[in-house]
Copies of this chain bind each other. A is one copy, B any other.
Amino acid sequence: MGKKGTETRVRILEATQELVETAGYAGAGLNQVIAASGAPRGSLYFHFPDGKDQLIGESIRRAGQAIDAAVEELAASGASAAEFVEGVLRLLGDRLEESGWRKGCPVATVALEMAAASEPLQQACSDVYASWEAALRRRLGGRPDADDLAVTILALIEGALLLAKAHRSREPLDRVSGRLAALLS
């Protein structure tokens, strides 16, 4: 794959990521992707011959990895487990607010839309969540209840992010932050 080709491919993926996170699978049109990325229609189908499903599937996995990397970085520095999770909530809250309440969880909307529709996309979302859960479990390693706790923390983060987006306010994130100590005691 040539240099130019790879660049457009990435531009298309980035535009898709952005649009899907804002409007979901059905709400993000390929025409919008084309307009936002600057790539023409034919290029889209050259790089993603299987169409919208392939495009969004790849963009979901890509977004998942980006969050994964950011969390992994936080995991290395944080002191206590509670401080680490607080850091994640702060990071996601910043991202959400700075984007004008558009960028919450890049997977959630598609996961909800596609749970009963496209098998491959449902799988992509499931995989991303599993990978985040694994990252949390590693960070909480050692505890006897690390499995339950990792799922619970992930649910708490996702739920708080959902409420924050719905209310257009950081308050849910902050309030949840304050209850972490009890959960991780």
A contact residues vs B (CB 8 Å cutoff): 22-27, 100-102, 104, 107-109, 111-113, 115-117, 122, 125-126, 129-130, 145, 147-149, 151-152, 154-160, 162-163, 165-168, 171-172, 175-176, 178-179, 182-183, 185
Contact = CB atoms under 8 A, between A and B. Distances in A.
Given A154-B163, A179-B152, A113 B109 contact: yes
B165 A156 contact: no
B148 A179 contact: yes
Given A151-B176, A182-B183, A115 B159 contact: no
Contacts of A159: 154-160, 162
Contacts of A100: 116
Given A26-B23, A129-B166, A151 B172 contact: yes
Nearest to A166: B111
A181 B129 CA distance: 25
A106 to B, nearest CB: 11
Contact of A162 (B101, B111, B152, B168): B111
A104 B115 contact: yes
Nearest to A180: B152
B179 A126 contact: no
Nearest to A99: B116
Nearest to A158: B159
